Amino acid sequence: METTYDYVVVGAGTAGCVLATRLSEDPAVGVLLLEAGDRSPAEAPPPVWPTLQGTSADWAGVSVPQAATGGVVPWPRGRGVGGSSAINGMVFTRGHRSSYDAWAAAGATGWGFEDLLPYFRRSENAPGRDPATRGVDGPLTVAPASPGHPVAQALLAAAQQTGYPVVPDLNAGLDEGFGWSDLNIVDGRRQSAADAYLAPALPRPNLTLVTDALAHRLLTTGGRCTAVQYGVGSEVFTARADREIVLTAGTVGSALLLMLSGIGPAAHLRQLGIEVVADLPGVGSNLQDHPRSTVIYSAARPLPTGRTNRAEVAGLVRSDPSAAAPDLQLQLVDMPYYAPALPPSIPGTGEGWSIGISAMTPRSRGTVRLTAASPDAPPRLDPNYYGDPHDVAVMTAGLRIARTIGTAPALDSWRGAEVLPGPAVQDPAEVRDYLFQSLRTYSHQVGTCRIGLDDRAVVDPQLRVRGIDALRVADASVMPTIVSGNTNATVCGIAERAAALITGQTD
| Cβ–Cβ < 8 Å for 506, 497 | yes
Cα separation values, 164 from 99, 160, 267, 417, Å: 21, 5, 50, 24
CB 139 within 8 A of CB 122: no
Q: Are 108 and 461 in contact (CB under 8 A)?
A: yes
Are the C-beta atoms of residues 446 and 476 closer than 8 Å to each other? yes
Residues 6+ apart with CB under 8 A from 431: 396, 399, 421, 425
Rounded to whole angstroms, how far apart are CA atoms 482 and 499? 22
Neighbours of 269 (CB within 10 A): 25
Q: Among 239, 204, 191, which residue's Cα sits nearest to residue 22? A: 204
CB under 8 Å to 377, separation ≥6 — which residues? 370, 371
Contacts of 199 (CB under 8 A, 6+ apart): none
- One-letter amino acid identity for 157? A
d(CA 259, CA 373): 9
Rounded (10°) CA dihedral 112, 117, 120, 121: 180
**R_g over Cα of the chain:** 22
Q: Is 390 a catalytic residue?
A: no
Cβ neighbours, 10 Å, residue 36: 22
Q: Where are the beta strands (DSSP E) in 265-312?
A: 278-279, 291-299
CA nearest to 439, candidates 353, 359, 330: 359
Q: Which helix (H) or strand (E) holds 153?
A: helix 150-162
Answer for the pair 240, 226: CB distance below 8 angstroms, yes or no. yes
Counted residue by residue, the chain has a size of 507
User: How far, CA to CA in Å, does 378 sit from each of 64, 242, 371, 373?
Assistant: 11, 31, 7, 10
Active site residues: 444
